[in-house]
Amino acid sequence: MRLLILVGTAAQFAARVILEAVRPPYELRETVRQLFELGCRSLPLIAASGFAVGVVLSMHTRASLARFGAEALIPAGLALALVRETGPLTAGLLLSGRIGAGIGAELGAMKVTEQIDALEAIAVDSFRYLVVTRVVACVIALPILTSVMNLTGMLGGFAAETSITGMPFRTYFRLAFSSIQFSDLIPATLKTAVFGFIIATVASYLGTHTTRGTEGVGQASTRSVVYSSILLILANVLLVRLIFFFYPV
Amino acid sequence: MVDAPAAVEFQHVTKSFGARRVLDDVNFEIDAGRSICILGRSGTGKSVTLKHVVGLLTPDSGHVLVEGENISRLSSRDLSRVRQRIGFVFQNAALFDSIPVGANVEFPMRRHTKLSEGEIVARARQLLAQVGLEREYDTMPADLSGGMRKRAGLARALALEPAILLVDEPSAGLDPVTAAEIDALLVALRDRSQTTLLVVTHNIPSARAIGHELIFLDQGRIIAQGTPAALEASDNPLVRQFMSSEGGG
C-alpha cells in the first residue's frame, strides 16, 4: 500500500514538473545556473569515464574480432557500440550517481533546514525555482554529456588501437564515423533526455519529501541514486524497443 | 466609516498532524502596528501558528486572515502578493546556505523590486549593519554562529519593508546585550514603521519589551491572553510560573 502511495505521488510530481516546465514564468537564470552546475561540472567525470570505457571496449572488441580475422572492423564496431548503447547507458548511470545524489542531498538538506519554506515565505515558487530548473537542466545536459562520452570513448578506442597497430588518427575516425548512421546516433542520444528527466525528477521528489533530519538527507541521497538507476535501466529497455520499432534493422 | 481589517486574524483555527492536535480552536487578532508575543512550552504549536500566517500551513478548520484576506483561499498570484508584505524570521534562520549572507539579504529585493544593483547592495549592507553584521556581507552562512545566522535572517526578513513581521525566537542563541538590541530594533520597527509584530519567544523580558499583548498557548489552546501585567496576575499556575521566570531564549 505504501509503495502504491509512493508511486502515485511520484507520478503526480512528475506530471506537475512537465506542466510547470512548459508554462511561464520561466526561471531562466536559475536554469542556466543549474545547467552549469549539473552539466559542466560533470564533464571531467564523463570525459574520463568515456576515455576509459573506450580503451576497455576496444580491448574487448579486438579480442572478439581477432578470432574471425576482422580486426579492421574495430573502429566501426566500437563506435557503433558506444553510440547505440554503451555511451548513453553508461553516461546515464554515472550521472544518476553524481547528479542524482547531489540533487537529493541538496534539496533534502534545504527541506530539513526550512530553506524551502523560506523560499515560499519570500514569495518564490519553490517548485519552479528548485525542481523545474533542475529537471530542465538535466534534460538538456544529458544528451550533450552523452555526446561527450561517445567522443571521448572513441578517443580512448583510438588510443588503444594506435598503441597496438599504429593506426593514424584520421584513418581511425574515418572508419569509425563511416559506420554511424542517423538512426544509430540521434535516437540513442535523445533517449538520454528521458534519462535526465528520470534522474532529476526522482532526486527532486525524494529531496523535497525528506524527513527525519540528517538521516533523512542521507537516505534521500542514496535512494535517489538507487531508484533513478533502476528506473533508468527499465526505461532503457522500453526506449530501445521503441527505437527498434521506428528504425527496424 | 468602515474599520480597517485586523493585520492578522485567527478564527477558530484547528490543526492536527496525524493524531496530534497542535492548534485547537485558536482565536485572536492583531491590529496593524501592534505586537503580540506568543508564549508557551516547547511543542505547543507556537511556530505552527506563525506558519499559518504566511500560508506555509493551512488549517484543518477555521480561517486565517491577513489584512482581511483568507490566506488559504488565495490564488497563487494573490498569495505571492500577500507574502511580499510579510517578513518571516525562522527559528533557525533558514538562510540559503549556498550563497553568502549579503546575497541572502539581497535575494528578496532581486526577486520583487526594480531597484538598481547599487541600491540593492546598499540596502543589504544597511540592513546587515542594523543587526550588527556589517562585516559578514561575504561570509557563508555555515561560518556564522547560530545567533549571527538569526540576525542575518532578520535582516533578510526586513528586505522588502514588510507590513507584518513574524519572528520565531528572536533571542535564541544571543547574548543578553545583543538580545536587548534585537528587541529594541523590533520595537523601533513597530513604533516607527507601524510594522505589525507576531513574535514567538521563551524570553519573558523580551516578551515584556516587545509585546503590547501576550498570548499563552498550552496544548494548542490559548489559556491566557492580555497585557504582561494581566498574565502575571493570571489564575493559571503555568502562566504565572512562566511570567515569573527571567529565563532567556
The residue extents of the domains of chain B are 94-161
**Three cell numbers at B88?**
518571516
Three-class SS state of B61: strand
The pLDDT confidence band at residue A70, using thresholds 50, 70 and 90, is confident
Nearest by Cα to A148 from A197, A191, A88, A75: A88
pLDDT, tens digit (0-9, with 9 covering 90-100), for A156-167: 999 999 999 999
Instruction: Tell me which residue has cell 559578514.
Output: B136
Please name the residue of chain A whose CA is at the shortest distance from the CA of residue B55.
Answer: A121
Residues B8, B55: Cα–Cα separation, whole Å: 12
Residues of chain B with confidence (pLDDT) below 70? 1-2, 246-249
**Which DSSP string do the residues of A37-54 spell out, in sequence order?**
IIIGGGHHHHHHHHHHHH
CA distance A10 to A149: 30
Tell me how many degrees the CA angle B13-B19-B22 measures, rounded to the nearest 5: 35
- Summarised one tens digit per residue, pLDDT across range B110-120 is 999 999 999 99
Cα distance between residue B170 and residue B142, in whole Å: 19
On whether the CB atoms of residues A145 and A36 are closer than 8 A, the answer is no
116-175 in A: which are within 8 Å (CB) of B?
Answer: 117-125
For residue B146, give how far its alpha carbon lies from the nearest alpha carbon of chain A (Å). 13
Q: Alpha-carbon distance A82 to A54, whole Å?
A: 8
Instruction: Check pLDDT > 80 for residue A249.
Output: no
- Best CA proximity match to B107, nearest among A128, A115, A127, A105: A115
Question: What average pLDDT score do residues A100-108 get?
Answer: 96
- Are residues B56 and A123, on separate chains, in Cβ contact within 8 Å? no
Which of B103, B87, B86, B104 is CA-nearest to residue B95? Answer: B104
Between chain A and chain B, the number of residue pairs with CB atoms below 8 A apart is: 50
Q: β-pairing, B164-168 with B196-200?
A: parallel
pLDDT score of A80 more than 70? yes
Sign of the torsion angle spanned by Cα atoms B165, B168, B174, B175: positive
ipTM associated with this complex: 0.92
3-state secondary structure A150-174: HHHHHHHHHHHHHHHHCCCHHHHHH
Record: contact A118-B94, CB cut-off 8 A: yes
Chain A contact present for B107, CB below 8 A: yes
Verify whether the Cβ–Cβ distance A123 to B96 is below 8 Å. no
pLDDT at res. B2: 58
Measured CA to CA, the distance from residue A223 to residue A177 in angstroms comes to 39
- The runs of H, that is alpha helices, within B131-195 are 146-157, 176-193
Residue of A nearest to B106 (CA): A122
Asked whether the beta carbons of B26 and B57 are under 8 A apart, the reply is: no
Average pLDDT over residues A201-209: 96
* Phi, psi values for residue B94, rounded to 5°: 55, 40
Q: What is the pLDDT of residue B249?
A: 40
pLDDT > 70: what percent of chain A? 100
Query: pLDDT at residue A30 above 80?
Result: yes
Q: What angle do CA A167, A56, A182 make, to 5 degrees?
A: 70
Average pLDDT in the A38-46 region? Answer: 95
Mean predicted lDDT score pLDDT of chain A? 93
A117 and B51 within 8 Å at the Cβ level: the answer is yes
Q: Do B94 and A115 touch (CB under 8 A)?
A: yes
Name B88's bridge partners: B166
DSSP 8-state code for residue B4: P
> Does position A26 have pLDDT exceeding 70, yes or no?
yes
**Torsion, CA A232, CA A236, CA A237, CA A241, rounded to 10:** 150
- Give percent of chain A with pLDDT exceeding 90: 80
Which segments of chain B are extended strands (E)? Answer: 8-17, 20-30, 35-40, 61-66, 69-70, 86-89, 164-168, 196-200, 213-218, 221-226
